[in-house]
Amino acid sequence: MRRRRGSAAADDAAVIESSWRNPERFAVLFDRHAPHIYRYLARRAGRQVADDLVAETFLAAFAKRDRYDLGHADARPWLYGIATNLVGQHRRDEARQYRITQAAAAEPEVPGHAERVAADVTAQAMRPLLAAALAALPVGDRDVLLLIAWEQLTYQEVSRALAIPVGTVRSRLHRARTKVRQALAGTDAAATYEELTTNE
C-alpha cells in the first residue's frame, strides 16, 4: 500500500550489522537513504539547514549503529526518527520555513485545462493557510502528520521512528488532521477548491 524505495531497504539491517565489523559499510546506508532524508529535512527546516542536518543525522546514526535492532530490516524509520529529533532542535528554522511557504504563493506556470489551472491557483491560495496550520500544530502531532503525509511511513513505522505506541500515532494523526481541516475549512479558497476538484 505504502511506497517502498526498492528492495534494497530490506537489507538495511544486514548493512548495519556488517558495519559493526567494517564501519566503511555504513556509507551504503547513506547512499541509499540520504536523498530522502535530506528532502524531508529540507521540507521541514529549509535547504540550508538540511545540508547540516542530513550530515548530523547520519553521524548520529553511525555513532549508535551498534544499538540498532536487527529485527527491523528497513532502517528508514530509525533514520527518520533521528532526523525528526534533530528538526526538534531547530524549531526556529522550521518556523521560518513555514513562513517562507506562506509567503511564496507564486502563480502556477503549467498550462492545461482551464478548471485544472483554476484548481492549481486555488491550491496555491490555500498553501499559506496550510503552512500556518502546520506551524500552529503541537510538535508531536506535526511530526506524525508529516511523516505520514510527506514521507508516507506507515503507522508502525512512525511508531518506531518516534518511539511512541501505534495508538498514539493514530490519535495524534487524527488530532492533527482535524486541526488542519478546521484551519482550511470555511475559507473562500477551500470552498472554491473543493468545488473545482469535485467537478473534475
Partner 1 sequence: MNEMELLRELAQETPLPAPAELDAARARLVAAIAADPAAGGFTAVSEVPMYQPYPSSGQPVEPLRPPAPAPVLDAVKLMYGGAVGTVVQLIIALAYIGDIRAYHLTVLGHHLTTAQLSHQRPLIITLAIAFGLALIALWLWMARANGQGRNWARILSTVLFGLATLQLSGLHGVAQVFWAMLTWLTGLAAVWQLWRPASSAFFRQCRQAARTRQP
d(CA 177, CA 145): 7
Under a CB-based contact definition with an 8 Å cutoff, are residues 123 and 141 in contact? no
Cα distance between residue 160 and residue 173, in whole Å = 15
Give, in order, the Cα–Cα distances in Å from 172 to each of 157, 158, 159, 198.
14, 11, 11, 28
Q: Is 61 in a helix, a strand, or coil?
A: helix
Question: H-helix or E-strand containing 95?
Answer: helix 91-103
- Listed ranges 36-44, 88-96, 109-117, 161-169: which one lies at the site for partner 1 (CB under 8 A): 36-44
Among 59, 103, 136, 166, binds partner 1 (CB under 8 A): 59
- CB of 38 vs partner 1, minimal distance in Å: 5
Q: Does the footprint of partner 1 cover residue 169 (CB under 8 A)?
A: no
Taking CB under 8 A as the binding criterion, the range among 78-86, 110-118, 155-163, 192-200 that sits at the site for partner 1 is 192-200
> Which of the ranges 34-42, 81-89, 110-118, 160-168 carries the binding residues for partner 1, by CB under 8 A?
34-42
**CA-to-CA distance for 5 and 28, rounded, in angstroms?**
14
Interface residues with partner 1 (CB under 8 A)?
17, 20-24, 26-27, 30-31, 34-36, 38-39, 42-43, 51, 54-55, 58-59, 62-64, 66-67, 70, 101, 123, 126-127, 130-131, 145-146, 148-150, 177, 180-181, 184, 193-194, 197
